[in-house]
Amino acid sequence: MKRKVVAVLAALTLATGTGVAVAVVIPPGTNGPGLAAVGPASANDGFPVWYQDKNGLRLENCVNLADPKCPAIGPRPDMTAPISFPANYPEEGFYTIAVADMPTPTGNARGAVQLEQAFANGGAAAGDQITFARTRYTMDVTPGASYTITSPVTPPGGKTLVATTGLLVDTEDIGVSPGDFSGALGARVGPFLTWDDFASVPAPAALAPNALGKATYVGDGVTPHKIVGSPYNNNFFRVEGPGINPSVTVDACPTVTGPISDCIETALFTLQGKLATTSGVTPQRATYTQTSATGGMVDVFALTAPGDQEAIQVSDVSAVPGFATTALLGSVNSAGHYAARVAYTGAQPPTTVQVSNMGDVPVTNRNITVVDRVSGTAVYTTGTPGTPGDPAAIPAIPAIAPTVGSLTVNAVSSDTVRAGAPALTASGFAVLPVALSLGSMSVPLDAPPESVTVASAAGGTVTLQVEMAGLPATPIPVMAMAGPDQSAFTGQVVTLDGSASTGALTYSWTSPAGITLTNPNSAAPTFTAPTVIAPDSGIYAFDLTVTGPGGPKTSTVTITVTAATAAVANAGPSQAGVQRGTTVALDGRLSTSAATYLWTQVITPGDPIATLVGANTAQPTFTFPMYKFPAKTGALTFNLRVTSLDGSFSDAPVTVTPSSDTVAIIRGTYTASKRQWRIDGTSSSVLTGQIVTVHLGPLTGPVIGTAVVSPTHAWAVSVTSAVVGGVGQTVSVESQLGGTAAGFVFKVA
């Protein structure tokens, strides 16, 4: 029995599924879903040494071949050799994974909740580490039916899914950003699930209790067991849907009303997770101060997990140590912050120190380079600008007093006694860094940067925010601009526009007799054009007066009003080569006598539906729909109807033709004993989130799985599926960008 469950967990780590990462809204609250903190990166594999939930429980990444309670682990290049990073490191590992299985009439239903580590591009590589929280549901069901899933991570009401095939797969990954391990904190995973007797003292033997009788694992990784920890108190896995229960006599959901045949439920989960034995430590800063020829001080700052008293110490690992190992100050009340001021001896400061957490098992050691500490000020004095030029070419001068139109920088290193004190340079305002002379420099600039960085030859740096001094700037003189002259038809609503006025504090419009302005004290008032009898026209002048510095000022705009004429629609030129998923703009501005606009899609059988934004404007937009077989791949047609104020209307069509990418299948394998598919291919185009779908046989065949195209144009479907492949059969692929390929013969292993 145990061997079977281990195989289930191991197989689960290999399935990438058919879901895509989506954003979720996490309910607030200290005890709500999500995690609280992530630990520092390990010096061994670059992954966080722990994740902590909102109950204070910390779990580590249990990647240990010798630990039978952590069976879920991904493949590595040499399965017969020990783990080493990166040469022989598993592709996947877990901080926690909980799996529940139930039989259905056609197979199985599985729910999985996991916090996982992996690599963005597959194999182990430094800098490619990712972590993510995953929820996945995989169920053999009835095509076309709707199912509601309730699990430890679903909020009240559950999650409803519609099965398009006999295998329903829903995956949600949150995180998945190389080097940024905080993304998983806001996902659905958390608080961590545990066995329901995890908190017992002594804990069950299967959870390896320590000397105090407390559990060191949240589950044993092999035994189905009741769990606790759901923020919604959903400590079970339930599926509701037509005919999902394989037994018509056994009520699997006694607390749910409805037919026995429409619900299955289990409270048993196979759960893996190990309590963190390390808190880790992150050196934050090590700076030296040397005020004598025989020694000085090193200030060391470090950060570790809050809440526990840690034994943090610092050692000099330079070739010739300048100080003995020293403990850092800190306590349970210092929120994980530790620090020490250490005296060293010698004419040279230490080059490297090692910060260690002695309470970790094994001990965590992290090195940090010792640099000097740089401090200073940066001031820009306003007034008449200095002579323009390349600041890097201007000799640095001592800042005796602020200079109008110049940036003055004063800085000093904490190393003040060694011969040839560290040279300082400033950057952030010139092509090349500018040297400071005797700790000062001043250069004329037309405008200063927000900050200046001063760097020392001894390694220290400081970023100084630029302060402003001197006279205030002169306000922009007010200028009235009533906008360009306009033409309008009788009955048309006309908008005046004085928004181009500069320095305006107030607006005041005056209109000709008989015309009433709406909001005459705004920048853009409106009025209705008066009646004019053809062929005559009326010319009306409107004055705008604005107040402000140097004002008031006045400007005039003329509106020419003519009688309404028959509408003539112009939908603009047809467009071609439009990529699916991008925004398309239609343009009816060349229409004449148009008082109103109405755009509609002319739909023929097989056309995808486009949603128009601003369909009642001259320039609406829409996102060209992604391709999904059996939709047509050709042009979409839109109609523009314009209506004149005289009651006439006119129609004009326009077509938008999409481009299609080129997709290809380059290899394919079906492992019959595991029902596992691996199909690899390429796409000629890459759109963020672009998905390809692989079918068994032609595009009318059942869906095997989907994949997102990577930035390198590659894609791979790797999934356990109810779709069964056979020798001599083929697979086909469709892309959301319109490309298709068929007839690829896959291998059967």
Secondary element (H or E) of residue 267: none
pLDDT of residue 531: 86
- Per DSSP (E only), the strands in 163-318 are 167-175, 194-195, 217-220, 225-228, 237-240, 263-266, 268-275, 282-292, 295-303, 312-316
Q: Which residues pair with 296 in a beta bridge?
A: 290, 344
Token output for 208: 């390896």
Dump pLDDT digits (tens) for 312-325.
999 999 888 999 99
List the structure tokens of 328: 């850092």
Residue 402: what pLDDT?
A: 61
The CA radius of gyration of the chain, in Å to the nearest whole number, is 35
pLDDT 10s digits, 358-370: 988 888 899 999 9
Among residues of the chain, what percentage have pLDDT more than 90? Answer: 61
Work out the average pLDDT over 284-301.
Answer: 91
Q: Which of 78-82, 256-260, 476-480, 531-535 has the lowest mean pLDDT?
A: 531-535
> Which DSSP letter does residue 421 get?
P
Mean pLDDT of 335-352: 91
- Give how far the C-alpha of residue 308 lies from the chain's centroid of Cα atoms, to the nearest Å: 32
Q: Is the pLDDT reported for residue 400 higher than 70?
A: no
Pick 472 or 469 by higher pLDDT.
469
Contact between 59 and 80 under an 8 Å Cβ cutoff? The reply is: no
d(CA 235, CA 228): 6
Burial of 80 (0-12, 13-18, 19+ CB in 10 A): exposed
Contacts of 286 (CB under 8 A, 6+ apart): 298, 299, 300, 301, 314, 353, 368, 369, 370, 371
Q: Supply 364's token pair.
A: 């965590």
Position 390 scores a pLDDT of 34
pLDDT above 60 for 16: no
Q: Which of 635, 602, 595 is nearest to 616 (CA)?
A: 595
**Cα angle 21, 27, 29; round to 5:** 135
The answer, yes or no, to whether residue 2 has pLDDT greater than 50, is no
Share of residues in the chain with pLDDT > 70 (%): 93
Give the pLDDT band of residue 419 (cuts 50, 70, 90): low
C-alpha pair distances (Å), 224 with each of 12, 100, 102, 627, 737: 16, 8, 12, 43, 44
Contact, 606 vs 634, CB < 8 A? Answer: no
Judged against a pLDDT cut of 50, whether residue 397 lies above it is answered with: no
Indicate the range of 26-30, 85-89, 600-604 predicted with least confidence.
26-30
Q: Which residues contact 585 (CB under 8 A, 6 or more apart)?
A: 619, 620, 621
Query: Considering the domain 486-562 in this protein, what is its CATH number?
Result: 2.60.40.10
Topology at the third CATH level for domain 374-469: Immunoglobulin-like (2.60.40)
- Class of 575-658 in CATH: mainly beta
Q: What's at 590, amino acid-wise?
A: L
- In the three-class reduction of DSSP (H, G, I as helix; E, B as strand; rest coil), residue 218 is classed as strand
Cβ–Cβ under 8 Å, residues 693 and 679: no
Residue 520 CA to residue 527 CA, distance in Å, equals: 10
Q: Which two tokens stand for residue 44?
A: 């061994």
Q: Is the model more confident about 435 or about 307?
A: 435
The pLDDT, as a whole number, for residue 156 is 86
Considering only residues 468 and 402, tell me which one the structure prediction assigns the higher pLDDT: 468
Q: Choose between 387 and 465: higher pLDDT.
A: 465
pLDDT band per the 50, 70, 90 thresholds, residue 386: very low
Res 371 pLDDT > 80: yes
Tell me the pLDDT tens digit for each residue of 55-75: 989 999 999 888 999 999 999
Give every strand in the sheet of 649-658, ordered side by side: 575-578, 649-658, 636-643, 596-602
pLDDT at 420: 60
pLDDT score, position 18: 33
**One-character DSSP codes across 427-467:** ESSSSS-EE-BTTEEEEE-SS--SEEEEEETTS-EEEEEPE
**pLDDT at 27 > cutoff 60:** no
For the beta carbon of residue 94, count every other beta carbon within 10 angstroms.
29
Higher pLDDT, 401 or 738: 738
Residue 5 has pLDDT above 70, yes or no: no
Quote the pLDDT of residue 669. Answer: 93
Average pLDDT for 643-660: 93
Other CB atoms within 10 A of residue 655 CB: 15
Burial (CB count <10 Å: 0-12, 13-18, 19+), residue 401:
exposed
Distance between CA atoms of residues 176 and 710, nearest Å? 13
CA–CA separation, 162 and 285 (whole Å): 54
How many CB atoms within 10 Å of residue 430?
17
Rounded Cα distance between 227 and 230, Å, is 9
Q: Check whether 17 has a pLDDT greater than 50.
A: no
pLDDT at 520: 97
Kindly report the average pLDDT of the chain as a whole number: 87
ω into 362 cis (within 30 of 0):
yes
Q: What residues does CATH 2.60.40.10 cover in the chain?
A: 486-562, 575-658
DSSP annotation of 337: E
278 phi, psi to nearest 5 deg: -130, 145
Q: Report residue 82's pLDDT band, with 50, 70 and 90 as the boundaries.
A: very high
Domain 282-372 fold: Immunoglobulin-like (2.60.40)
CATH number of 663-748: 2.60.40
Q: Which residue's structure tokens are 């006309």?
A: 494
